[in-house]
Amino acid sequence: MSAQPGTIAPSLIQEQRSRRDARHERLFRWLLKGCALLVLAALLGAAGATLWGGRSAFATFGWHFLVSTSWDPGNDVYGALVPVYGTIATSLIALLIAVPVSFGIALYLSEVAPAWLRTPVASAIELLAGIPSIIYGMWGLFIFAPFFANHIKPWLTNNLGDQPDDGKLSWVAQHVPFVGKLFGSSYPFGASILVAGIVLAIMIIPFISSVMREVFQTVPTRLKESAYALGSSTWEVSWDIVLPYTRSAVIGGIFLGLGRALGETMAVTFVLGNAMTLSASLLDPGTSIASTIANQFSEASGLQKSSLMALAFLLFVVTFFVLLIARLMLRQLAKKEGS
C-alpha cells in the first residue's frame, strides 16, 4: 500500500498516524509486560530449578530434612536445621545493629548535618555499598575476628556468659534467663554467629542508610517547619513527622538490607566458623545456607548435591516468608493509621 502525499485527504493521514500510535502503544506495552514477566520467570525458574534439584533430598528425608541437625557426607545423611538457624540468626543480629545505626546516619545527614558535610558523607556511604563482600570477609577474618576474640569476647563471656574463665557466674548470668546461654562459650576464637552478624550489619548499613536518607529528603519542608514552629525538638520532628511520612519506604529499605544479609555468602563464609553444630551460644561457630552451598557445592555429588539444592530452595522459602511478614507489617501499620 503506497501512500501518495498531497492526494490523500487529511483525515486519512490522521487515521494512519493514530493507527501507528496504537501499534507503538501496543508494542511498548508488550515490551513492558515482557520486562516484568522476565523477572517473574527468572524467579519461578530459579525456585523451580532448586526444588527440582533438591527433589531427591526431599524424597529421601522428607520433613526430617527441616529438623535434622546432621550433615554427614560420609553416611549420606543431611539436615537443614543448622544452616537455616545460622542464616536467620546472623541476619537478625545484623538488622538489630544496622537499623538503628542507619536511622541515625540518615537522620543526621538529612536533618542535622551542615550542608557542606552532607554530600561527601553521602557519597562515602554509597562507595561503602560498592565494596565487594569478600573484602568485608577478609577484613572480618584477619582484623575484626582476632580483635573481637582478644578484647570483646572475654568481657562478654565473663560478664554475661555461663562459662566464665574463672568459673564465677556473673549476676546477669545467674538472674537473667537465656543470656548466660547466649554468651557462654569455651571456644577460643572470634569467628562466630555474633561476629558474622556484626560484619553483615556493617555490610548492609550503607544500603539501608542511603535508602533512608533519600526518602527522608522527600519529606516536605512545610511539614517539618510547621512542627518546629510549634516548638518540636529535632527528635520529635524526626520521630513524629519524618518517620511516619516515609514509613513504607523505610521498611522497604530495611528489607532490602535484610535480603542481602540472608543471601550473603563470601563474607559470612569467612567469619562464621563453618561448624555444622547447633549451639545456643552466639559466640560459637555456626554455618549458614549460603556458606554451606559455597563451601560444598564444587565437590558434592549425588544426594549431597541434591541436599545443597534443597537448601537453596529453603533460602527462597525463608526469604519469601520474611518479605511476606514485611508486607503484613506494613498493612498492619497502615490500618492502625487509618489511612
Region for residue 277 given its phi and psi (left: phi exceeds 0; alpha: psi -120 to 50; beta: otherwise): beta
328-to-95, 239, 251, 260 alpha-carbon distances in Å: 18, 22, 12, 20
Residues of span 146-175 touching other proteins by CB under 8 A: 146, 149
Nearest distance, CB of residue 297 and other proteins, angstroms = 8
**Which C-beta is closer to other proteins: that of 300 or that of 322?**
300
Q: What is the CA radius of gyration of the chain?
A: 26
270 interacts with other proteins by CB under 8 A: yes
Distance CA 312, CA 265 (A): 12
Nearest distance, CB of residue 251 and other proteins, angstroms = 34
**Which C-beta is closer to other proteins: that of 200 or that of 227?**
200
Closest of 287, 128, 120, 291 to residue 204, by C-alpha: 128
295 interacts with other proteins by CB under 8 A: yes
Candidate list 279, 291, 306, 307; residue touching other proteins; CB under 8 A: 291
3-class SS shares of the chain: helix, strand, coil, % to 5:
75, 0, 25
Nearest distance, CB of residue 172 and other proteins, angstroms = 24
Stretch that binds other proteins, among 36-44, 106-114, 174-182, 185-193 (CB under 8 A): 185-193
**Which C-beta is closer to other proteins: that of 76 or that of 240?**
76
Neighbours of 20 (CB within 10 A): 10
269 interacts with other proteins by CB under 8 A: yes
Q: What is the dihedral of CA 26, 32, 34, 35, to 10 degrees?
A: 170
**Which C-beta is closer to other proteins: that of 79 or that of 257?**
79
Structural element, H or E, at residue 216: helix 193-216
Distance CA 286, CA 91 (A): 13
For residue 115 the three cell numbers come to: 550542608
285 interacts with other proteins by CB under 8 A: yes
**DSSP E strand stretches across 23-106:** 71-72, 77-78
**How big is the site for other proteins, counted in residues (CB under 8 A)?**
35
**Which C-beta is closer to other proteins: that of 206 or that of 273?**
273
72 interacts with other proteins by CB under 8 A: yes
Stretch that binds other proteins, among 47-55, 70-78, 114-122, 196-204 (CB under 8 A): 70-78
Burial 105-125 (b: 16+ CB within 10 A, else e): bbbbbbbeeeeeebeeebeeb
Stretch that binds other proteins, among 44-52, 112-120, 233-241, 285-293 (CB under 8 A): 285-293
**Which C-beta is closer to other proteins: that of 64 or that of 247?**
64
Stretch that binds other proteins, among 1-9, 36-44, 249-257, 272-280 (CB under 8 A): 272-280
Stretch that binds other proteins, among 47-55, 101-109, 245-253, 300-308 (CB under 8 A): 300-308
Task: Report whether 165 contacts 158 (CB < 8 A).
Answer: yes
Residues of span 190-229 touching other proteins by CB under 8 A: 190-191
For residue 183 the three cell numbers come to: 554468651
Query: Facing residues of 77 across strands?
Result: 72
Nearest distance, CB of residue 179 and other proteins, angstroms = 24
Task: Report whether 237 contacts 223 (CB < 8 A).
Answer: no
184 interacts with other proteins by CB under 8 A: no
Candidate list 61, 187, 207, 255; residue touching other proteins; CB under 8 A: 187
Task: Report whether 66 contacts 289 (CB < 8 A).
Answer: no
180 interacts with other proteins by CB under 8 A: no
**Which C-beta is closer to other proteins: that of 162 or that of 253?**
162
In which residue are the cell numbers 522476565 written? 38
Report the interface residues with other proteins, using CB under 8 A.
70-75, 141-142, 145-146, 149, 186-191, 269-270, 273-276, 285, 287, 291, 294-301, 304
